[in-house]
Amino acid sequence: MPKNTSSTLQDQFANKAQAWSARFSEPVSDLVKRYTASVTFDKRMANFDIQGSLAHADMLASIGIISNDDLAEIERGMAQILEEINAGQFNWSIDLEDVHLNIEKRLVELIGDAGKRLHTGRSRNDQVATDIRLWLRNEIDITIGLLHQLRNKLAGLALEHAATILPGFTHLQVAQPVTFGHHLLAYAEMFGRDAERLADCRKRVNRLPLGAAALAGTSYPIDRERVARTLGFDEVCRNSLDAVSDRDFAIEFCAAAALVMTHISRLSEELVLWMSPRIGFIDLADRFCTGSSIMPQKKNPDVPELARGKTGRVNGHLIALLTLMKGQPLAYNKDNQEDKEGLFDSADTIRDTLTIFVDMVGGIKVKAEAMRAAALQGFATATDLADYLVKKGVPFRDAHETVAHAVRECEQRGCDLADLPLADLQKFHALIEDDIYGVLTLEGSVAARNHIGGTAPARVKEEAERVLAQTGA
C-alpha cells in the first residue's frame, strides 16, 4: 500500500462536514440535519464503535490491506479518542451525523492517511449493526446479573418467611392460606425465566455482521472469523443482506425486557396493595417512598408505582421496533436508525428498575401478625374441610356442598369455621371428628401441601435454599 496518497481532492474528506458530501450540490437545511442525525443518542456506543474499528483494522493488517504501521497509528489515534471521550472532551458534531463519522473524522485529524484507510471493506451499515450487538451483549450480561441478585434477595426473604402465613388470593378473594416465602418465590421463578430468556436472546445477538459491508459483502479477502474471535462473537452472520438489515435480535431483547417489566409491575402492584394501611402486610423503607405536599399522614410507595408505570414505555418500545421492521425491503434502510432510542431506553429502564428493586426487596419489613389475621378471615381453610371429608370417603362434590353450608352458617354467626364447636360441625356431616381442628388451622393447611411446588414451609425452605445456592449466597 502506498504510504501517503493525499491530494487536494482527497484532503476534502478531512475538511468537508459530511464524509459523503462531494457528490452533492447543495447543503441540507439545519432542520434536516437534525432530523437525520443520530449522534446525540448513538454516541453512547462510542466505546463499542472503537472496539469494532480496532478489530477491523487488525484484520485488514493481517491480510495485508493496510500496513502494520497504519494499524499502529490507528491504535494510537483510537486510544487518544477514547481518552477524549471518557474525559468529556470529545467534540461531538451533528454535522458529522453519527457516532461512526464523528470518530472517523477525528481519527483522520489525528493520524492522517492511516485513518482514511480504516473504512476499507466496511460500511456504516455493517459497522452500526456490529456496534448495537456489542452494546446489547454487554447490557444483557449486566441485566442477567441483576435478575439473579433480585432472585437472591427474594429467596433470602423467603427463607426467613418460609412459615409466615398470609391469605392466598384468587380473583383477589381470600382463597387458601399460603406462606409468604412461597409467594415471594413465585417471583423468583418469574425472574429466573426472564434471565433464561435473555441468555437465549444473547445467542442470536452474539453474531458478527462486519464483513457484510453496505449489503453485498466486499471484494477484499477479509477474514471475518478473525474479527469474530477478536470481538468475542460466537458466530458470523451468514448472509450479508440479512446482517445489515434485520434487527430481530433487538426486538427479541425488547420482548424479554417487556416481560421483565411485566413481572416487576405485578410485584409492584402487590407491594402497593400490601402497603396500603387497609391491608398493612408490609412496610417499605422510607427511601423508596415519598410524602404528600398536602396530606401530612401520607407515605406513598412511589418506587413500585413508578415501576408499574414504566412498564408502559418498555411495552411501547417493543411495538415500535416491530412496526419499524415490518415493511422494510432488504437491505439496510435509514428507518433502522430509529432502532436505537427505544432499545436504549428499554435497557436503561430495566437496568435501573432492577437495581432499585434489589435494594428495596432486601429491605421489606414484613408484618406477620397482619398477614395471619387476614388469613384467619374469609374461610381460607374451607377447601381443607372438604378434602378432610373426601379422605373419609365422601365424594368431592358432596363435600364441597357440605362445606358451603357450614360457611354460610359461619357468615351468619360472624365466626370462622374453626370457631364452630364439634357438635355444630357434626350437624353438617356425621363423619367430622375431633381431629378436624388440626385440619382447619392455618398451619395444618399449609403443612399439608407438602409436594414439589407446594406451599408447605419445609418445601419453601428447600426451594429458597436452592435459589440461594443458584444465585451465589
Q: Are 159 and 468 in contact (CB under 8 A)?
A: yes
The interface region with ligand ARG, picked from 111-119, 252-260, 287-295, 331-339 by CB under 6 A, is: 331-339
Nearer to ligand ARG, 303 or 343 (CB): 343
DSSP structure class, residue 284: -
Nearest alpha carbon to residue 318 among 257, 246, 244: 257
Rule CB under 6 A: is residue 117 a binding residue for ligand ARG?
A: no
CB of 342 to ligand ARG, least distance (A): 13
CB of 56 to ligand ARG, least distance (A): 15
Cell readout for 19 is: 464524509
The count of other CB atoms within 10 Å of the CB of residue 232 is 12
Nearest alpha carbon to residue 336 among 31, 136, 124: 124
Among 49, 73, 98, 252, binds ligand ARG (CB under 6 A): 98
Rule CB under 6 A: is residue 128 a binding residue for ligand ARG?
A: yes
Cell readout for 389 is: 371429608
CB of 338 to ligand ARG, least distance (A): 8
Site string for ligand ARG, 290-329 (x = CB under 6 A): ----------------------------------------
400 labelled catalytic: no
For strand 235-236 and strand 207-208, is the pairing parallel, antiparallel, or unpaired? parallel
The interface region with ligand ARG, picked from 71-79, 264-272, 330-338, 448-456 by CB under 6 A, is: 330-338
Distance CA 319, CA 313 (A): 10
Cβ burial of 147 (10 Å; 0-12, 13-18, 19+) is buried
Among 13, 38, 96, 105, binds ligand ARG (CB under 6 A): 38
CB of 339 to ligand ARG, least distance (A): 7
171 labelled catalytic: yes
Cell readout for 198 is: 435473555
DSSP structure class, residue 21: G
Nearer to ligand ARG, 182 or 247 (CB): 247
Establish whether the linkage from the previous residue to 331 is cis, with ω within 30° of 0: yes
The count of other CB atoms within 10 Å of the CB of residue 98 is 26
Catalytic residue among 29, 171, 293, 451: 171
Report the interface residues with ligand ARG, using CB under 6 A.
38, 42, 98, 124-125, 128, 334, 336-337
Catalytic residues, which ones? 171, 292
